[in-house]
Amino acid sequence: MEIRNFSIIAHVDHGKSTLADRILELTQAVSERQRRDQMLDTLELERERGITIKATPMRLFYTAKSGQRYLFNLIDTPGHVDFNYEVSRALRACEGVLLVVDASQGVEAQTIQNAYLAIDNGLEVLPVINKIDLPNADVPGAIAELEEVIGIPGDTAVAVSAKTGENVEAILEGIIAHLPPPKGDPDAPLSCLIFDAMFDSYQGVISFVRVMDGTVKKGDVIRIFSTGKTFEVDKVGYFSPAPTVSDQLGPGEVGWITAAIKDIADTQIGDTITSDKNPVSAPIPGFKPAQPVVFSGLYPTDSEDYPKLREALEKLSLNDAAFSFEPETSEALGFGFRCGFLGLLHADIVQARLEREFGLGLIATAPAVIYEVERTDGSREHIQNPADLPEPDKIARILEPFVRLNVYVPEEYVGNVMGLLQERRGEMKNMVYHGRRVELRYEIPFGEILYDFHDRLKSLTRGYASMDYEPLEYREGKLVKLDILVNDEKVDALAVIVHRDKAYSLGRKIVDKMAEVIPRQMFAVPIQAAIGGKIIARATVRAFRKDVTAKCYGGDITRKRKLLEKQKKGKERMKQLGTVEVPQEAFLAVLSGDE
595 residues of the chain, pLDDT tens digit each:
788 888 888 877 777 778 887 877 777 655 555 554 544 444 555 445 555 555 667 788 888 777 888 888 887 676 565 566 666 767 777 888 888 888 888 777 777 777 888 888 788 888 888 888 888 888 888 888 888 878 888 788 888 887 887 877 888 888 888 888 888 778 888 888 887 777 777 888 888 888 888 888 888 888 887 777 888 888 888 887 677 888 888 888 888 888 888 876 777 777 788 888 887 777 777 656 666 777 778 888 777 888 888 888 887 777 666 677 888 877 667 788 888 877 777 777 788 888 888 888 887 777 777 788 888 888 888 887 777 777 777 888 888 888 888 888 888 888 888 888 888 888 888 888 876 778 888 898 887 877 667 777 777 877 677 777 777 888 888 888 888 888 777 777 777 788 888 788 888 888 888 787 777 776 777 888 888 778 888 888 777 766 666 677 666 777 777 777 876 776 666 555 445 566 555 665 555 544 4
CATH assignment of the domain containing 302: 3.30.70.870
Residue 43: inside a domain:
yes
In a domain, 184, yes or no: no
Output the furthest CA–CA distance in the chain (Å, rounded): 111
Residues 26 and 169 grouped into a single domain: yes
CATH code, 572: 3.30.70.2570
Within 27-136, residue ranges assigned H as helices are 44-49, 84-91, 109-120
Whether residue 451 is found in the same domain as residue 526: no
d(CA 308, CA 327): 13
Nearest residue to 89 via CA among 231, 224, 248, 207: 207
Residue 102 and residue 59 share a domain: yes
pLDDT tens, position by position, 173-228: 888 888 888 887 788 888 888 877 777 778 888 888 888 888 888 888 888 877 77
| Whether residue 320 sits in one domain with residue 468 | no
Please tell me the number of Cα atoms within 13 Å of 42 on its side-chain side: 14
CB neighbours (10 Å) of residue 504?
15
User: How does pLDDT run across 256-272, given as a tens digit for each residue?
Assistant: 888 888 876 777 777 78
What total of structural domains would you count in the chain?
5
| 3-class DSSP state of 112 | helix
Q: What is the pLDDT of residue 93?
A: 76
What is the distance between the alpha carbons of residues 484 and 498, in angstroms, rounded to a whole number? 13
pLDDT of residue 44: 53
Give residue 203's pLDDT: 81
In this structure, the answer to whether residues 199 and 72 fall within a common structural domain is no
CATH code of the domain in which 252 resides: 2.40.30.10
Instruction: Name the pairing type of β-strands 525-531 and 534-541.
Output: antiparallel
Examine residue 259 and state whether it is found in any structural domain, yes or no: yes
Q: Does any domain span residue 439? A: yes
Is 140 part of a structural domain of the chain?
Answer: yes
Residue type (1 letter), 517: V
130 in a labelled binding site: yes
Q: Confirm or deny that 17 is annotated as ligand binding.
A: yes
285 located within any domain: no
Q: Do 327 and 395 reside in the same domain of the chain?
A: no
CA distance 450 to 595: 10
Answer yes or no: is 592 a known binding residue: no
Q: How far apart are CA 531 and CA 497, in angstroms?
A: 10
Q: What is the pTM of this model?
A: 0.64
Distance, in Å, from the CA atom of 372 to the CA atom of 388, rounded to the nearest integer, reads: 12
Domain containing residue 218 = 191-275
Last residue of a domain, one of 364, 399, 426: 364
> Within 10 A of 219 (CB to CB), how many other CB atoms are there?
7
CB–CB of 442/486 below 8 Å? no
From 332, 309, 337, select the one nearest 491 (Cα to Cα). Answer: 332
Residue 165 annotated as part of some ligand binding site: no
Domain boundary residue among 364, 391, 424? 364
Q: Are residues 251 and 211 in the same domain?
A: yes
CB-count exposure of residue 559 (10 Å: 0-12, 13-18, 19+): exposed
Instruction: For residue 8, say whether it is annotated as part of any ligand binding site.
Output: no
Give yes or no: residues 80 and 37 share one domain.
Answer: yes
- Residue 435 belongs to domain with CATH number: 3.30.70.240
Residue 102 lies in a domain: yes
* Cis peptide, bond prior to residue 241, ω within 30 of zero: yes
231 forms beta bridges with 222
Find out whether 315 is annotated in a ligand binding site.
no
CATH code assigned at 77: 3.40.50.300
18: annotated binding-site residue?
yes
Alpha-carbon distance values, 257 to 92, 204, 236, 280 (Å): 18, 11, 5, 18
Is 381 among the domain residues? yes
Rounded Cα gap, residues 455 and 155, in angstroms: 37
b/e map 526-543, b = 16+ CB within 10 Å: bbbbbbeeeebbebebee
Confirm or deny that 593 is annotated as ligand binding. Answer: no
- Which of 453, 477, 501 delimits the end of a domain? 477
Residues 204 and 322 grouped into a single domain = no
Residue 148 corresponds to which amino acid? E
**Helix/strand/coil (H/E/C) assignment for every residue in 446-468:** HHHHCCCHHHHHHHHCCCCCEEE
Query: Do 252 and 179 meet the contact criterion of CB atoms below 8 Å apart?
Result: no
CA distance 154 to 124: 13
* Statement to judge: residues 78 and 161 lie in one domain: yes
Within this chain, do residues 21 and 159 fall inside the same structural domain, yes or no?
Answer: yes
User: How many whole angstroms separate alpha carbon 38 and alpha carbon 16?
Assistant: 9
Query: Do residues 22 and 148 share a domain?
Result: yes
